[in-house]
Structure 1
Amino acid sequence: MTENTKTHVILLSCGSFNPITKGHIHMFEKAREYLHKTGRFIVIGGIISPVHDSYGKPGLVSSRHRLTMCQLAVQSSDWIRVDPWECYQDTWQTTCSVLEHHRDLMKRVTGCILSNVNTPSTTPVIGQPQNQTTPIYQNHNNMNHSPTAIKLWGKISESLGKICCVRPHIERFTFVCLFPPACLSSVELRILLLCGSDLLESFCIPGLWKDSDMEVIVGDFGIVVVPRDGADTERIMNHSSILRKYKDNITVVKDATNHPMAIVSSTKSRLALQHGDGHVVDYLSQPVIDYILQSQLYINASG
């Protein structure tokens, strides 16, 4: 398949990111690597969407801190960015709503054909105030040598910045568009939910997810699952009629090696911080650790 005939994918990860860990970034990298190996997809971008403060999870620090930590964690990435739309809403948003928001935004600014989308959305697009500081998405170092897919992501990011919600400003980040003129409407684009096997397993808990939301998430969008702790994803999927129904829309990242990042979690990171455990450097990037210490986060937190 040529690049133009492959499906271009944006990976979207929702969660607390309390705090964001090396494991979260590893999940993006492994998913992109695997999707490229299939020969059917080109991953052009990744989006991290931290949950709203009203989610109510014990020990959840302010979105202001979580957004900053996420920005610091991806500052060296040329394809993953942080989106605060979820945090800036009046209240908590469902995963389904977040996916629909980004789908509507992508359709509006790119004209791309978003495949496998059957359900219309009423999610509003938030307008950006005039004279607002230019949105910050990523570090542009070495972008001149990025492949066409990354340049496409640059074009999309630039367009999104003109109409989507205001993003936190971090002075050392700048954004530059290096994508040459092209007809974006000729590209097939999909937004896939990126998650660990723990989220997949939560789909099987009665009453936790609305069936209608699961139909949209798995049926209309599709998900990419990175297994954790040797989880049996096949068994998990067989426990849910909806997961079985849309099995073809679920991509499980297969990796023969047991990478240590697969067991890293925010919970372990918080515990390490509370106990002064030096292993925290294995869980969190140094800029994130520095920010946590400077802001005195999690040190006396519970959960």
Structure 2
Amino acid sequence: MTETTKTHVILLACGSFNPITKGHIQMFERARDYLHKTGRFIVIGGIVSPVHDSYGKQGLVSSRHRLIMCQLAVQNSDWIRVDPWECYQDTWQTTCSVLEHHRDLMKRVTGCILSNVNTPSMTPVIGQPQNETPQPIYQNSNVSTKPTAAKILGKVGESLSRICCVRPPVERFTFVDENANLGTVMRYEEIELRILLLCGSDLLESFCIPGLWNEADMEVIVGDFGIVVVPRDAADTDRIMNHSSILRKYKNNIMVVKDDINHPMSVVSSTKSSLPRVLTRNHILG
């Protein structure tokens, strides 16, 4: 597959990040490496989305401090960014709402097709009249040459860096205005961009707890978006999926990362580890 025919992916991790750990960063790296090795995907970005202060977790530190810790943790990464949108809302947002927000935002600012797992290349771009023939390459009529893969990835990457992957300053956080004039945006109808939820096997297992998740949300998260799972402590993901009718139904939309590296994935949990040197001291808050 060529770069333009592969599915372009943004990995989105939601959580308290109380604090963010080395394991969280490793989770992103492992997921990207695995997806690239399949030959079907190109990961073009990773988003860390800390939960709102009203989430209700005991010992949850102020989002201002968690955002700063997350910024420090990803400061040396050229593809993982921190997004403060959840923290800046009036109240706690569901994981489903966060996924839908980023999908809709990317539709508006990149001009790419963001498709559901089960309906590739069928989701229309926001703002494009559905009764008109789509413009196959550019909105700019002065450009007549077909874009190369480098141009496509460059434009998408530019949009990501300006919108969903903003790096707010450590001292003050100014959220990007989603309605700001971003200039002429190229529209690429021939590439597919997908946002996948990145999580550990513990979150996957939580789907099996009766009443914990809204079933309609689960249908959207697993059925429309899809999940990339990085197992922890040799968790049996097949057993977990067999305990939920929704997970069984959309089993093909759940990608379990398998590699030959023995990572101590228990350190992903905020309660078990903190980033050395970056955080300067332990913030083990439960």
Shorter chain as normaliser: what TM range? 0.7 to 0.9
1:248 aligned partner: 252
2:84 aligned partner: 84
2:220 aligned partner: 216
Cα 1:302/1:99, change in 2 over 3 Å:
closer
Note the alpha carbon deviations across 1:246-273, whole angstroms, 9 max, x for none: 111100001233212454421123xxxx
Query: 1: CA distance between counterparts of 2:211 and 2:16?
Result: 21
Is the Cα contact below 8 Å between 2:266 and 2:272 reproduced in 1? no
1:37 aligned partner: 37
Query: 1: CA distance between counterparts of 2:267 and 2:259?
Result: 14
User: Can you give the 5+ residue segments of structure 1 that lack an aligned partner in the other structure?
Assistant: 121-146, 172-180, 270-282
Q: 1:88 Cα shift?
A: 0.4
Question: Which of 262, 278, 282 is matched with 1:287 structurally?
Answer: 278
Is the Cα contact below 8 Å between 1:229 and 1:263 reproduced in 2? no
The reply to whether residue 160 of structure 1 matches residue 139 of structure 2 is no
1:288 counterpart SS class: coil
Q: 1:169 Cα shift?
A: 1.6
2:10 counterpart SS class: strand
- Amino acid of the structure 1 residue aligned with 2:46: G
1:227-246 map, 5 Å = 227-246=231-250
- Amino acid of the structure 2 residue aligned with 1:284: L
Q: TM-score, normalised by structure 2?
A: 0.79
Query: 2: CA distance between counterparts of 1:80 and 1:153?
Result: 14
1:89 counterpart SS class: coil
Higher RCO (CA 8 Å, separation ≥ 6 residues): 2
Query: 2: CA distance between counterparts of 1:5 and 1:155?
Result: 20
Note the alpha carbon deviations across 1:116-167, whole angstroms, 9 max, x for none: 167x9xxxxxxxxxxxxxxxxxxxxxxxxxx878635531224527xx9x86
Aligned residues: 243
The reply to whether residue 25 of structure 1 matches residue 25 of structure 2 is yes
Is the Cα contact below 8 Å between 2:271 and 2:285 reproduced in 1? no
Q: TM-score, normalised by structure 1?
A: 0.74
User: Can you give the 5+ residue segments of structure 2 that lack an aligned partner in the other structure?
Assistant: 124-149, 172-184
Identity of aligned residues (%): 77
Query: 2: CA distance between counterparts of 1:148 and 1:25?
Result: 28
Q: 1:182 Cα shift?
A: 6.2
The root-mean-square deviation of aligned C-alpha atoms, in Å, is: 2.4
Normalized per residue, the structure richer in helix is 1
- Amino acid of the structure 2 residue aligned with 1:207: G
